[in-house]
Structure 1
């Protein structure tokens, strides 16, 4: 296993542990779950803080959710396409929220902040990323915009504008409080497509 493969494997194993234990997770727990010696972790990461930041950075990457959205069949009805995209995005945001919340609850908000700012202390993180890596938001927007393309001629607005509005709906869902906190992605999709008013008979 190459150093990069080992690093990726450790991060994959560590993410659910960080989501469960936050900053209280130990490198011993991570090593046990990964089936490696604890010393192996410190050959890849300078310390536990760097591992935690790497986990948050990985959770923030849009690669997985972009692949999920891109795999949605354009032959499906638009409502089904948007529901599938909404579910994928909701799961992505919940993964990020679980990690950030666990870190904050255990007194380590800096781990989440540093990762979100891209301030990992590794040489790899200090290298200038490729354009596609720098702007993950465009990857998600492009994948969602593609879902509108089959209906382009019958849409009230261009797919690009609808995509921005649709993502705005979904990204604010997690910040809704009170009775709105239980709003499901499918409900937002329905509201997005059909509006808030009941159609007259």
Structure 2
């Protein structure tokens, strides 16, 4: 008879906390929602997450609740802010803004992909109590843009002595410009270099450039 007394005992993995499990399910669901839209099945999401389908409905009340969580996750600015804050401040402002534009483009593409997938299926609705403000921005959307805007302002700060406006105002304008030129289907979109040059130097050439 084989002696197994010295064999290591197999321990069952510690169960996830509810918030961790929801986050894990949403992480698995996001790329599927982008690919398949709201029609993606919970069975497919469960397979991607490596769990049983019933686990999804223990974590979320229904599929709509899961889709709403996916939209909320896509709008979270945490990773975007961290990437903006990691941009080296000792490089020229042009380089800083070019890096920032790429980071913001990725963030907006992700939000747009999820929102577009859900809107196409009629599953993206604004709650009745949430109305846009006088400037047309919804409170939820504005809250999601505030943190990246603050990180963008920090990128302007080292050149504050040369700026025509406060870093905060320039960050707001730069963010709005990125959102406008980065919209899906924009004809002949500007490159990152063109966008940053246009923002910093305007539409007119200098007399030296015109020669």
TM-score by length of 1: 0.83
Write the distance in 2 (CA, Å) between the matches of 1:178 and 1:167: 17
Matched, 1:200 2:202: no
Deviations 1:74-130 (A, max 9, x none): 11211111111111111111111111212233x23x3x3248x88xxxxxxxxxxxx
* Cross-structure match for 2:24: 9
* Cross-structure match for 1:58: 73
Write the distance in 2 (CA, Å) between the matches of 1:184 and 1:101: 23
Q: How far 1:198 moved relative to its partner?
A: 1.8
> 5+ residue gaps in structure 2?
1-15, 131-141
The answer on whether the counterparts of 1:66 and 1:143 sit within 8 Å (CA) in structure 2 is yes
* Cross-structure match for 1:149: 157
The answer on whether the counterparts of 1:86 and 1:186 sit within 8 Å (CA) in structure 2 is no
**Rg larger in structure:** 2
* Cross-structure match for 1:24: 39
Q: How far 1:176 moved relative to its partner?
A: 7.5
The answer on whether the counterparts of 2:75 and 2:144 sit within 8 Å (CA) in structure 1 is no
* Cross-structure match for 1:190: 197
Q: How far 1:178 moved relative to its partner?
A: 5.5
The number of equivalent residue pairs is: 181
* Cross-structure match for 2:114: 99
TM-score by length of 2: 0.79
The answer on whether the counterparts of 2:33 and 2:114 sit within 8 Å (CA) in structure 1 is yes
The answer on whether the counterparts of 1:90 and 1:185 sit within 8 Å (CA) in structure 2 is no
Query: Aligned in 2, Cα 1:114/1:15: closer, same or farther, shift over 3 Å?
Result: farther
* Cross-structure match for 2:134: none
Query: Structure with the greater relative contact order (CA < 8 A, sep ≥ 6): 1 or 2?
Result: 1
The answer on whether the counterparts of 1:74 and 1:147 sit within 8 Å (CA) in structure 2 is yes
Deviations 1:151-189 (A, max 9, x none): 111112211121111111111123476634x22333211
Q: How far 1:73 moved relative to its partner?
A: 0.9
Counterparts of 1:156-175 in structure 2, within 5 Å, are 156-175=164-183
Larger helix fraction of residues: 1
The answer on whether the counterparts of 1:69 and 1:85 sit within 8 Å (CA) in structure 2 is yes
Query: Aligned in 2, Cα 1:177/1:45: closer, same or farther, shift over 3 Å?
Result: closer
Write the distance in 2 (CA, Å) between the matches of 1:168 and 1:41: 37
Write the distance in 2 (CA, Å) between the matches of 1:196 and 1:53: 41
The answer on whether the counterparts of 1:19 and 1:102 sit within 8 Å (CA) in structure 2 is yes
